[in-house]
Structure 1
Amino acid sequence: MRFLWRGISGVFRWSWRLLNFIRELILNLFLLVLILAGVGIYLQVQSKPAEPAKGALMLNLTGVVVDNPSISNRFGQLGRQLLGTSSNRLQENSLFDVVETIRQAQKDPNITGMVLALNDFAGSDQPSLQYIGKALREFRDSGKKIYATGDSYSQSQYYLASFANQIYLSPQGNVDLHGLSTNNLYYKSLLDKLKVTTNIFRVGTYKSAVEPMMRDNMSQAAREADSRWLNGMWSNYLTTVAGNRQLTPEQLFPGAAGIIKGLQATDGDMARYALQNKLVDKLASRSEVSKQMSTIFGWDKQNQDFNYVSMYDYNTPTPDSGGDNQIAVIFASGAIMDGEATPGNVGGDTTAAQIRQARLDPKVKAIIMRVNSPGGSVTASEVIRSELAAARAAGKPVVVSMGGLAASGGYWISTPANSIIASPSTLTGSIGIFGVINTYENSLDSIGIHTDGVSTSSLADLAVTKSLPAEFAQLMQMNIESGYRTFVGLVSKARNQTPEAINQIAQGRVWLGNDAKTNGLVDQLGDFDDAVKKAAELANLKTHTLNWYVEQPGFSDMLLAQLTASAQALFPAAAQAVLPQPLLDMAAHLKGKTDWMATLNDPNGRYVLCLECSVN
């Protein structure tokens, strides 16, 4: 018997040793991969790319274009090469890096033209596309030709392609022009079925951020307001693209009936429809396009392709942020939340510290605040606004450059500026405020759970498991109304208008940049270049350098980001094997609509946030 137990214990003992060996082997292999990746990144960062032969700049934009990416373009590229992220469309590109690359190539004698390869470009907001388009036009006007190639073109891809001298399209492709839309989920009935009591406090007829919890459809006021800016944005799109293609907007997009009629004439051939209606210049396969490009730019025997350098390999000089005449560029990109910044969100404390640093730096003569935010916490917005006001009071001009979105809290933090510059397609305004508290007393009551107790005051008798005291609800509404008056007061003082006049254009209403200029909410229509010019003018600077307040990620940050991206990229492929695509689309939509909840950390429960400012 003892021999039997000794044999069994031996099996377990050797099994345990084997498991330990496997565990240590895996950990050691992982450590080895980290070391090799670190060495590879260091060597690639230190090495300078060879001077390219004369040829094209390949603007092979991959992923999305944002103001301030979580990982810089260069580090992201190295991470993908070493760690093999499997979804390029997850990549973030800096808008300002893309524009600087195009402008550097324009002046480079080795770059004789450009190829726009846009198959992996996932899109950007319209003002960012306009800024890239401006750089493309400068490149083209310098005498260097641009060729766009694509299997098909989404609306964002086609916007950039329209700046090309020639647009190539696959014979099996299409140009997907369909218009713009907004779609929100409304779940009042769901909350009713779950017996959730939603206590809503708001000011603003058009402050529709809370409508999904109050209604099962869009209110008429919200529908009219959203229709105005959405149609204006679509008009801006059509005007630019049609002008580039030397068409009228009606020829470019004849509406659903016109497109169907045109497709009937081509037997449903979308590529032939695009060619006949001058949306593209030539139909050609990838091999045919490559042959044509090799005729124009020459043949690279080593790479067996035409002569080109990818935008990600192109050696652009590092911007000089030194000197005594600096203009600080500080970003507010994402929802505004209290505390430190997180990826994709603006931290009130982090941004305020950057502004304070610029204010106290004698070399910084002016500040550009680049705002691309739907807003968020009132408290965090005020922390940022007050620090900007202090910088202006210290004699440093403040210029706000609005990106695609500077609404609610995004406008709140813009009010101290000497000058506000917005794109014609910027979404701004949304001057309103709201608060939401959900309680679950009815949900719990339905399953036999009840809450009871004693308190020294009705204001102390607060719990999500019981209804809100009437006195607290009254206090909360008064607090929201006070916050709205503060918001309107800040805007009226900053814009030199009466509170009554601002109230007429406030009420939570969203305005397109063109209308915001007409209503006096912004000073000038323009882009980032205009903001730089204005900052230099206000600071009386004949020469200057830009000091970008951007945190460079360390290796560990890059590694974590790339591993996370790899996991996110792999999940859809695995999920698609077992889940239908409509369900996956709904899950993605739900995620996008609920991610904002992570930013709701205002200590007073008050928010200046534009949830309806999203375009499909």
Structure 2
Amino acid sequence: MKRFLLWMFSLLALLLLMIFVMGLVAVRQFKGGTQAAVGGNSLLVLRWDGTLPGHGVPLMERSTGRQLSLSTLIPAIERAAEDDRIKAIVVEGDASMSREHLFELAQALEHFRASGKPIHAHLAMASDAQYQLACLADRLSLSDASSSGLIFIGTAIHQTYRRELMDRLGVRMRVRHVGEAKGFGENWVLDSMSVAVRENMSLLVEDRQHLYAQWVGSARDINPEEFRALSEAPDRFLLTPSEALEAGLVDVLESHRQWEDYLKEQFGAYQLLEVGEWVASQPEPAVGDHVAVVWAEGEILPGRSNDTGAVRIHGETLARDLGRLAEDPQVKAVVLRVESPGGAVQPSEEVYLELQRLAGMKPLVVSMGSMAASGGYYISLPGAMIMASPWTVTGSIGVVAMLPDLEGSFKKLGLNEDGVFSTPLSRLVIGEPVPQGLLDAMGRSMEEIYRVFTGRVLQHRPLSPEDLPAWAGGRVWSGLRANSAGLVDSLGTLADAISAASGLAGGVDGIRHYPVQEDLLELLFSGRLRPRDLFPMLGQTQLPAEVLDLLAPLDTDPRSMIRSEWEWELLE
């Protein structure tokens, strides 16, 4: 009976994999044979689900043709400006993106408007970010329904502080910081935000509120300070449609049907073209001499990436890819797009050294996205030019390490860890107190890392040793303040960084984004993706060992499951 169940389970797993791959083949063939039908009187609709990613699109979305990201959206809007079939852009619905990405999008929309084409927007209910996009329109309408309105939530930076819980559990978190404002981990050992961190975060919140008011003031031609007073008033959680109209935040109140009638008056019999369909219909750019835009997104981790769609920076993979670009004769310049809060020290150093090498071979320009902090700032330093958005969160020049000490928890539970240990460090086991020698060694290592970090900042940036402490110490800064301090060279978009890199390379028109977003089928055929990367359950130890043994050949070479015949004798 056991043998039969194993046989059936293995057969089912293989059949599911086969059906899955055949489905991908069908989707790919369908995707390759169809394109969005773009009529001669089309309105491009900016609408998508969830938050727009920078470049890394989840693997399953790539495989179904939905590849909308900032890196595909911006050039698609620029091409729409030149396409006579597209008459206008329409902003509608729940489109959401980071403030920094909006900064990028605004430039593309201005390019679209400069082509003589209008931008129209209609809102039913909107919060800060949704309104920030919609207010860029030439005509902004708001639903006249009583349930409609504008909600200005504001900016908040907060986290849950856990010291009391840790005390109750008998857990002592050993947190070491180098940098008085390096706040990561303090919520494990404090009851509330430390004075230095609160002071630093208050500046960041103020900058973002200031930038938002300036944005709305410029887009709607109203006084930014008056807008701040209105949007931050404690009794104005929701602006009703009439209040929004009176304040000049919208142009007209109308129902959705009235808005559609207005579009018909302006454009006649129009076709709504979803931006995702428009992006999917764009041809692949020709590969020749080009500027390589390398996206470094997510937490910095050691090891290699398997490209399953998780947005992370794996040091070994990124360093390898940078090395290949450095040697590629068609890559005339590189733009490193950093969207990272930092991470592990060793892979950050690995990437930094490879970027330093690349910068000695060809122009390297850094474009900071929503965040380029700590390790994200560290890997940015080799750039000949560093550009940030005013909204970028950067800096965080500091070091932090954490170790849990469960001795108290073990005592509360009546547990005792005992054994034979060759050195004090070998006693670093669960339930034992963290050796003081280890804490001392960790502290010395962190001081050395901080010394190297600040030394690299002084090497690459125009700051003096006397000025640096005020901008280091773990403090984070908006791109606005980072620019005034000299932590970055200028404020600008990714497009500005690409233009600068092209200029440094003597003028290169081609652009290609890396890593190349391959779909799931391409990864399977290349042999770089294993079944257990797709189905984590195949790698779990709770499965019978016999089943794992049967599936092991597929894990070794996934191409073995894409065959014209099946070797059923494997199941005997």
Q: How does the TM-score come out when normalised to structure 2?
A: 0.84
Give the aligned partner of residue 186 of structure 1.
161
Q: Which residue pairs with 2:256 in the alignment?
A: 286
Q: 1:16-40 CA deviation, whole Å, 9 max, x = no partner? A: 99xx999989996996576355313
Q: Cα offset for 1:50? A: 3.4
SS state at 2:372 partner: strand
CA distance in 1, matches of 2:10, 2:74: 48
1:570 equivalent in structure 2: none
Mapped to 2, the partners of 1:314 and 1:550 lie a distance apart of 22
**Contact 1:207 1:430 survives alignment (8 Å):** yes
Superposed CA RMSD in Å reads 3.0
Question: Match of 1:149, SS?
Answer: strand
Specify every segment of 5 or more residues in structure 1 that has no aligned partner in the other structure, as ranges.
1-11, 80-91, 300-305, 566-616
Could you tell me which residue of structure 2 aligns to residue 572 of structure 1?
A: none
Higher mean displacement: 38-47 or 424-433:
38-47
Q: Which residue of 1 aligns with 2:27?
A: 40
Secondary structure at the counterpart of residue 546 of structure 1: strand
Alpha-carbon deviations, 1:234-293, whole Å to 9, x = none? 1111101121111112333424675737x9xxxx87122212222112222222222222
Task: State the alpha-carbon separation in 2 of the partners of residues 430 and 218 from structure 1.
Answer: 16
Where do 1:327-342 residues align within 5 Å? 327-341=291-305
1:512 aligns with 2:481: no
Q: What does the per-residue CA deviation read over 1:92-146, in whole Å, with 9 as the maximum and x for residues that have no partner?
A: 84112111121111111111111111x232x222121011011112222322111
- Hey, what does 2:142 align to over in structure 1? 169
What is the rounded CA distance, in whole Å, between the counterparts of 2:251 and 2:312 in structure 1? 42
2:510 alignment counterpart:
545
Does the aligned pair in 2 maintain the 1:405–1:427 contact within 8 Å? yes
After superposition, what is the alpha-carbon deviation per residue over 1:341-361, rounded to whole angstroms, capped at 9, x for unaligned?
361111101111110010111
Q: 1:223 maps to which residue? A: 198
Listed one character per residue, the Cα deviations across residues 132-175 of structure 1 (whole Å, up to 9, x for unaligned) are 01111222232211110122112111111111111122223111
The structural deviation recorded for 1:190 is: 0.7
Q: State the TM-score, normalized to the length of structure 1.
A: 0.78
**Residue aligning to 1:54:** 41
Instruction: Map 1:378-389 onto structure 2 (within 5 A).
Output: 378-389=345-356
Q: Is the 8 A contact 1:74 1:312 kept in 2?
A: no
The CA deviation string for residues 336-380 of structure 1, in whole angstroms up to 9 with x for no partner, is: 011123611111011111100101112212111100100000001
Partner of 1:392: 359
Within 2, Cα distance between the matches of 1:437 and 1:362?
46
Contact 1:73/1:312 (CA < 8 Å) preserved in 2?
Answer: no
1:53 is displaced (CA, Å) by 2.3
Q: 1:486 to 1:93 in 2, by over 3 A?
A: same
How many angstroms apart in 1 are the aligned matches of 2:412 and 2:283? 64
2:343 is paired with a residue of what secondary structure?
strand
Change (3 A) 1:72 1:198: closer
2:325 pairs, out of 324, 335, 358, with 358
Deviates further, 36-45 or 380-389: 36-45
SS at match of 2:517: coil
- 2:303/2:316 contact within 8 Å kept: yes
Where do residues 19-168 of structure 1 align in structure 2 (5 Å cutoff)? 35-36=22-23, 38-71=25-58, 75=62, 78=65, 93-117=68-92, 119-121=93-95, 123-168=96-141
- Secondary structure at 1:254's aligned position in 2? helix
Match of 2:266 in 1: 296
Structure 1 pair 322–391 and aligned structure 2 pair: CA distance change class (3 A): same
Relative to 1, partners in 2 of residues 1:209 and 1:440: Cα closer, same or farther, differing over 3 Å?
A: same
Q: Which residue of 1 aligns with 2:210?
A: 235
Which of 271, 277, 291 does residue 307 from structure 1 map onto?
A: 271
1:403 deviation in Å?
0.4
Determine the C-alpha separation between the residues in 2 that align with 1:460 and 1:138: 63
| Preserved CA contact (<8 Å) 1:177 1:253 | no
Question: 2: CA distance between counterparts of 1:257 and 1:360?
Answer: 53
For residues 362-441 of structure 1, what are the structure 2 equivalents within 5 Å? 362-393=329-360, 395-441=361-407
Give distance in 2, aligned partners of 1:148 and 1:437: 51
* Post-superposition offset of 1:318: 3.0
SS of residue paired to 1:186 = coil
Q: 1:532 to 1:36 in 2, by over 3 A?
A: closer
The 3 A distance-change label for structure 1 pair 224 and 321 is farther
- In structure 2, relative to structure 1, the CA distance for the partners of 1:399 and 1:24 (3 Å cut) is closer
**1:577 aligned residue:** none
Give the Cα–Cα distance (whole angstroms) in 2 for the partners of residues 259 and 489 of structure 1.
Answer: 46
CA offsets 1:72-97 (integer angstroms, 9 cap, x no match) = 89836646xxxxxxxxxxxx841121
1:129 is paired with a residue whose SS is helix
Moved more, 65-74 or 470-479: 65-74
Higher deviation after alignment, 24-33 or 198-207: 24-33
Distance 2:131 2:51 in 1: 15
Query: Is the aligned partner of 1:246 residue 2:211?
Result: no
Hey, what's the Cα distance between the residues in 2 that align with 1:361 and 1:501?
A: 39
Mapped partners of 2:382, 2:10: distance in 1: 57
1:527-569 deviations in Å (ceiling 9; x for gaps): 1122112212222x22331122123233359999xxx99xxxx
| Partner deviation per Cα, 1:458-512 (whole Å, 9 max, x = no partner) | 2333213211111111111111111111111111111144444323310000011
1:297/1:307 contact within 8 Å kept:
no
Partner of 1:322: 287
Paired residue for 2:562?
none
Cα 1:28/1:207, change in 2 over 3 Å: closer
Are residues 1:453 and 2:427 paired? Answer: no
Matched residue, 2:563: none
Which string of whole-angstrom CA distances, capped at 9 and with x for unpartnered residues, describes residues 396-428 of structure 1? 121110001000000111111111111111111
User: Secondary structure at the residue paired with 1:424?
Assistant: coil
Report percent identity of matched pairs.
31
| 1:168-212 Cα shifts (integer Å, max 9, x gaps) | 222231111231111111101111110012111220010011210
Counterparts in 2 of 1:257 and 1:462: CA distance versus 1, 3 Å: closer
Relative to structure 1, is the Cα distance of residues 246 and 233 closer, same or farther in structure 2, using a 3 angstrom cutoff? same
Q: Partners of 1:78 and 1:257 in 2: how far apart?
A: 42
Conserved 8 A contact 1:63-1:93: no
CA distance 1:438–1:32, shift in 2 (3 Å): closer
Report the secondary structure of 1:167's partner residue. strand
- 1:471-550 map, 5 Å: 471-539=437-505, 541-550=506-515
Give CA deviations for 1:218-248 in whole Å, capped at 9, x if unaligned: 1111111111111111111110112111111
Q: Is the 8 A contact 2:333 2:502 kept in 1?
A: yes
Distance across 1 between alignment mates of 2:149 and 2:191: 36
Structure 1 position 321, deviation (Å): 4.8
Equivalents in 2 of 1:506, 1:391: separation in Å?
26
**Count, aligned residues:** 519
Deviates more, 1:201-210 or 1:454-463: 454-463
Contact 1:492–1:499 (8 Å) recurs in 2: yes
Report the Cα distance in structure 1 between the residues aligned to 2:519 and 2:461, rounded to whole angstroms.
Answer: 42
Compared CA separation, residues 511 and 536, structure 1 to 2 (3 A)? same
* 2-structure distance, mates of 1:283, 1:446: 64
